[in-house]
A and B are shown apart, each in its own frame.
Chain A
Amino acid sequence: GAVVSQHPSRVICKSGTSVKIECRSLDFQATTMFWYRQFPKKSLMLMATSNEGSKATYEQGVEKDKFLINHASLTLSTLTVTSAHPEDSSFYICSARGGRGRNQPQHFGDGTRLSIL
């Protein structure tokens, strides 16, 4: 159980394009979803936390207008990288967490490799 699907797995596009990444919890309801960015040999960097039906909470230094997050249902969150530029190239990973108690781990998608030319 606890499967999180992330799509697409890889995107290569031109500078200025907007890219949407989907994160779905397949077999549980995700009350909270998280979006991370991972740089080579670095920790996962939390970008934002989204709760179903409410606005996402962005971490300091993350541009809200650049990285649009929508969590419209308990099984789907999307991250849209608007007007992407080469510096946005990275590995983006989502995670989903069900329930509100402390004993619920985050379950991760397989990540999206974004390359902006």
Chain B
Amino acid sequence: SQELEQSPQSLIVQEGKNLTINCTSSKTLYGLYWYKQKYGEGLIFLMMLQKGGEEKSHEKITAKLDEKKQQSSLHITASQPSHAGIYLCGADVSGAGSYQLTFGKGTKLSVIP
């Protein structure tokens, strides 16, 4: 079964609109990482969350990890065409110290000018 569920699978928004992407796990998240990928390219690291209740922001992107450390959200304020791409959450769900990440299937974001 998929350990990390991302929703929605795809999203089309008008430029300037806000949006939220969710990442949910059935297991405790020992580390949660958000990446952005353009089709056919590598992943760009956005943010890392480790503590329950933690929130980080970079420019117009804010990521949160809930208190129970089983869900994270990525919020984009006033979206721009440059935000378009595939957003992936990756998580350490083992806590075993291998630092291996399990990834969600990604959320494809399109921003219409």
Using a CB–CB distance below 8 Å, which chain A residues touch chain B?
A: 2, 4, 6, 32, 34, 41-44, 46, 49, 91, 93, 95, 97, 102-111, 113
Across the interface, A43 reaches (CB within 8 A) one of B42, B44, B104, namely B104
**27 A-B pairs, CB-CB below 8 angstroms?**
A4-B42, A32-B99, A34-B101, A41-B105, A43-B2, A43-B88, A43-B103, A43-B104, A44-B43, A46-B101, A49-B100, A93-B43, A95-B43, A97-B99, A102-B92, A102-B99, A103-B48, A105-B45, A106-B45, A106-B90, A107-B45, A108-B42, A108-B45, A110-B41, A110-B42, A111-B41, A113-B40
Chain A's closest residue to B41 (CB) is A110
Given contacts A106-B99, A108-B45, 16 further A-B contacts (CB under 8 A): A4-B42, A41-B105, A42-B105, A43-B102, A43-B106, A46-B100, A46-B102, A102-B31, A102-B92, A103-B48, A106-B33, A107-B45, A108-B42, A110-B42, A111-B40, A113-B40
A44 to chain B: which residues have CB within 8 Å? 43, 88, 90, 103
A43 touches B105 (CB 8 A): yes
How many B residues are at the interface, by size bracket? 20 to 34
A111 to chain B: which residues have CB within 8 Å? 40-42
Interface bits B70-113 vs A (CB < 8 Å: 1, else 0) = 00000000000000000010101000001111111110000000
